[in-house]
Structure 1
Amino acid sequence: MAQFTSFQKPSPVQLKVKRPAAVLDTLSAATSAQQEAVDRIGQLFDVSVERLEDISRGFQNEILKGLEEDGQEVMMLPTFVTGYPTGREKGTYLALEISGLDINVCYVRLTGTPSDLSIHQHQYQIPDSFKDEDDFEVLSDYVADCLAEFLEKIEMSSQDLFMYSMAMSIGFPLQQIRLNEGLLKEAAHGFSFRNSIGKEVVSMFHHSFDQKGLNVRIVAIVNDSVCTLLANAYRYPNTRIGIVHDIGTNCSYYERNTHAKKARRTSVSGPSEITSALSSLDLKKSCTEDEIVNTEWGGFDNSRTQLPFTWYDRQLDRLSQKLHFYQFEKMTAGAYLGELVRLVITHLIDLGVLFSGESSPALNASYAFDTTYLYVCEADESPELDDTTFILEKMMGLSDTTLGDRQVVKKVCEIIGTRAAKLVAALTAGALRRIKSDDGVGVPKNGLTITVSGDLYESYPSFHKRMTDTLHLLMDDDLRQKVQVLPIEHSRLVGTCIVAMMVDRQKQENDTQMTL
């Protein structure tokens, strides 16, 4: 990635109020050259319904490959989370969520009533410098520092803490060995951690906790898409698919355990004070209960044979830290949409179509056009596009932009944002087809709920509508009245706590069986 020292990278921005996209039907102030350029960009990024159908079925085929064998583009990782929440769960738990940008620490009390939750939560930002680190322990040490500060804030003593279990959601691909043991497969979202690939992560966290004198033990480690699914299932028990769409993207769904073959092949040996008590029970349940599978769909089409790649997509991939890695994520997720827009804008500048051919140090810098800028430009409905002016002139350092320039930038944001929503819909339709298939878990009689979390999905103007409208076009006729897509109602951390509850419940059941 190019390095620049003449400016400070602009900060992300937020919409004052969540607003729908204000679509430009015509570029009234654009020159003929600008209009022709936008038309070409629109054609490049357009994806027909027929192409989306092909992508959807291609993803369904990759699901089957991933269920059968390791090493596939769609990893289909077992989570060892089986069964369904009822909404009647009770208990007090600690939860930890690590995404690509932030760390969330949470204390949650489940009351048995989904609408009545007691939550204490605090967010910490992961330093950008960690992306250059080779060792995961840098992150685990920082998490320990954050957890210690959080516990002090809520006045929880070490003696009280020892009584609680913690579940952790982590936004990195793991090869899960047990509920609380997982090997780091890849360091997504721009991180490296090259010395830690293949290492067990919970033990690294426990070492960091011990170094800080924290009496905390992680009883379950779960992907954030699993937690999204379970958090919504606490309120809507017919939830079968959970999607995270934010800085990264992922999907988990319920699969019949008889088809989660990698889960049955995975070794259950290894030292762990929690898993040793759960081993026999997990093996019994693994053949009888439905299990949540983590697709890691961000890696779909790493071979670059199915997705609609443009020159800009290939350029982004070529200049990224990991070539030909997580191709679907690079075309749809928050870590990359701003960069795609920047690549288009700078290309149009080089062609003399935008800003009289003049750029700026900020706009020339990789990843300086933050994805939140797309939110602002898309929602801008003022006659002179004042919010877009702010992004271009104040945040990007350009001078004297014309209304035609601003209309072009706004339209480019719309084109790239719309394609992202359509592609997410295509893969969601593929997961739905898998559930509905003869050997899938099936669609509940009272319908099926898909839930989505993530700031990009929830805050990006009209992303939800574009995604659901496209999904409706791709769904089989008999599903259109049975499927609903809901932005997550509770925090994902509620789902994390539900996993901790399930671990406690399974341990109690196992202890009961052992005494019989």
Structure 2
Amino acid sequence: MMSCGYRDRSCEIGMIIGTGTNACYMEKMKNVEYMDGEDGLMCINTEWGGFGDDGSLKDILTEFDKVVDNTSENRGEHIFEKMISGMYLGEIVRLVLIKLTEEKLLFKGEASAALLTPGKFETRFISEIEEPDSGLENAKQILTELNLKWDLVDARVVRLVCDTISSRSARLCAAALATIANCIRLNRELDYLKTAVGVDGTVYKRHPTFRNKLQKEVPNLAPKCDIKFLESDESSGEGAAMAMAVLQRLAQ
């Protein structure tokens, strides 16, 4: 948010979708609990990766999400992050492929040792398999590397699984972002909000269709908000430098 806000002062939201996920936004001080004063704005770190830790997402968790959580080092925590971020997307796809194989819908019902090994289906495979032009060939190569006995139908089904999981991630992320935008608009009592979001993260930047799916879905969920997407480069370094520059100026 800080790095993109330097280029575009309308940027009031920051979002990262990479190995992990999080977002922040600017809120009116009068709406911030436990803080004195009502003038000005404060940056709110949503820690939205932890959304659902209270059980609020239980109705949409799949059996695969539950396995990912139960086998993680932080069981019961960062539920939303485990549904949408790069650290977990590959594992979700792997679990779906195993289920389809067990039901004899893939690979003639024969799973390889590699497919049965947690973490072997990397999230980067999803991006490679979903490439518009080379995705099918990439899928064939990856399935071969995983020692799976595949045919053309198998490769196409694997592409469908990858698209399903990445699409769900993009839409869940869009829902969270739209909620923030709607919150800003309502808290400022605006009929229409025009703002920008600075975005960083490997899933957003490197997946061939993720950003388009995300940007397409947000207007449906926040119809009274016009959100411009700004891609941030070296955001951690630039953002920290901007924050220190502001502090230095205020100190002087």
What are the Cα deviations for residues 71-111 of structure 1, in whole angstroms up to 9, with x where unaligned?
xxxxxxxxxxxxxxxxxxxxxxxxxxxxxxxxxxxxxxxxx
Q: CA deviation at 1:362?
A: 1.9
CA distance in 1, matches of 2:201, 2:107: 34
CA distance in 2, matches of 1:237, 1:417: 31
Identical counterparts, % of pairs: 29
CA distance in 1, matches of 2:191, 2:124: 36
**8 A Cα contact 2:179 2:222, kept in partner:** no
What are the Cα deviations for residues 2-31 of structure 1, in whole angstroms up to 9, with x where unaligned?
xxxxxxxxxxxxxxxxxxxxxxxxxxxxxx
Q: CA deviation at 1:261?
A: 2.2
**8 A Cα contact 1:435 1:443, kept in partner:** no
Report matched runs for 1:26-41 at 5 Å.
none
CA distance in 2, matches of 1:403, 1:494: 46
- CA change 1:377–1:426 in 2 (3 A) is same
Q: Provide the residue aligned with 2:213 in structure 1.
A: 466
Q: CA deviation at 1:444?
A: 9.4
TM-score by length of 1: 0.46
Q: CA deviation at 1:443?
A: 9.0
Q: Provide the residue aligned with 1:414 in structure 2.
A: 163
Report matched runs for 1:165-184 at 5 Å.
none
What are the Cα deviations for residues 213-252 of structure 1, in whole angstroms up to 9, with x where unaligned?
xxxxxxxxxxxxxxxx000000001101100100100000
Q: CA deviation at 1:489?
A: 5.0
Q: CA deviation at 1:490?
A: 5.6
Residue 115 of structure 2: SS of its match in structure 1?
helix
> Where does the alignment leave 5 or more consecutive residues of structure 2 unmatched?
none
CA distance in 2, matches of 1:355, 1:474: 39
Q: CA deviation at 1:397?
A: 2.8
The answer on 1:235 being equivalent to 2:7 is yes
The structure carrying a bigger helix percent of its residues is 2
Q: Provide the residue aligned with 2:236 in structure 1.
A: 492
Q: CA deviation at 1:329?
A: 0.5
Q: Provide the residue aligned with 1:362 in structure 2.
A: 114
**Which of 274, 289, 309 lines up with 2:61 in the alignment?**
309
- CA change 1:248–1:260 in 2 (3 A) is same
CA distance in 1, matches of 2:43, 2:69: 31
The answer on 1:505 being equivalent to 2:249 is yes
What are the Cα deviations for residues 129-148 of structure 1, in whole angstroms up to 9, with x where unaligned?
xxxxxxxxxxxxxxxxxxxx
What are the Cα deviations for residues 254-313 of structure 1, in whole angstroms up to 9, with x where unaligned?
01122222455xxxxxxxxxxxxxxxxxxxxx6533111100001112233346211111
- CA change 1:263–1:459 in 2 (3 A) is farther
Q: CA deviation at 1:439?
A: 4.5
- CA change 1:444–1:292 in 2 (3 A) is farther
Q: Provide the residue aligned with 2:124 in structure 1.
A: 372
The answer on 1:320 being equivalent to 2:92 is no
> Where does the alignment leave 5 or more consecutive residues of structure 1 unmatched?
1-228, 265-285, 509-516
**8 A Cα contact 2:185 2:192, kept in partner:** no
CA distance in 2, matches of 1:453, 1:261: 29
Q: CA deviation at 1:380?
A: 5.0
Residue 129 of structure 2: SS of its match in structure 1?
helix
Report matched runs for 1:34-433 at 5 Å.
229-264=1-36, 287-306=38-57, 308-379=60-131, 381-382=133-134, 385-394=136-145, 396-398=146-148, 400-433=149-182
**8 A Cα contact 2:17 2:200, kept in partner:** yes
- CA change 1:355–1:241 in 2 (3 A) is same
What are the Cα deviations for residues 465-509 of structure 1, in whole angstroms up to 9, with x where unaligned?
100111011113x42xx321222256332111101112212222x
CA distance in 1, matches of 2:31, 2:175: 23
Residue 376 of structure 1: SS of its match in structure 2?
helix
**8 A Cα contact 2:18 2:201, kept in partner:** yes
What are the Cα deviations for residues 312-369 of structure 1, in whole angstroms up to 9, with x where unaligned?
1112112222222111101100011000000000111112221122222221111221
What RMSD, in angstroms, separates the aligned Cα atoms of the two structures?
2.1
